[in-house]
Amino acid sequence: MNDEKCRNRHVWSLLLRAVQIAFVEAAGSDEVAIYESAEDGAFRLLASHGLEGLNLERFRPGDGPVGRAFAEGMIWINPRQAVEKSEVTAWIPLRTEDSMIGAVVIFGPAKRLDLDVLTILASLSAAILRGYRSVSQ
């Protein structure tokens, strides 16, 4: 790999880490995972924070409220106030104009979930993920 491509990959990796930190801080949760969509419809883990020891490498959206939110491309926030550690608290799709390219999943208790902040972060994160994918291929 040439030096420029290596530098670009490093920069995009740093940006991906910044996305992860932004969601940790915005939600006030120590458990966040960033996924990219795969060609087979599943989601593949790119980065996580506070979720060591859990098998979160791949998942397929299913039925229920999260599955419906996925199908509609909407942010889903768990309506239960008391969420257990490692339980899904929020699902945030990362979309470009024409497709869903990934998702951020927040787990466990979250101190704050502001829909406006999550929406803005999702838009910025989608652009970063699109750039990351372009240099990773």
- Domain residue ranges of the chain, discontinuous segments joined by +: 3-136
- pLDDT on residue 74: 86
Which pTM value belongs to this model? 0.83
How do the pLDDT tens digits run along the chain, 137 residues long? 578 777 777 887 888 889 889 999 999 888 899 988 888 888 888 888 888 877 778 877 776 666 677 777 889 888 886 677 778 889 899 988 888 889 999 988 888 888 999 999 999 989 888 877 776 66
In terms of CATH, what superfamily is 3-136? GAF domain (3.30.450.40)
- pLDDT on residue 64: 65
Sheet with 88-95, side-by-side order of all strands:
58-59, 43-49, 31-37, 100-107, 88-95, 76-77
Question: Can you give the C-alpha Rg of the chain in angstroms?
Answer: 15
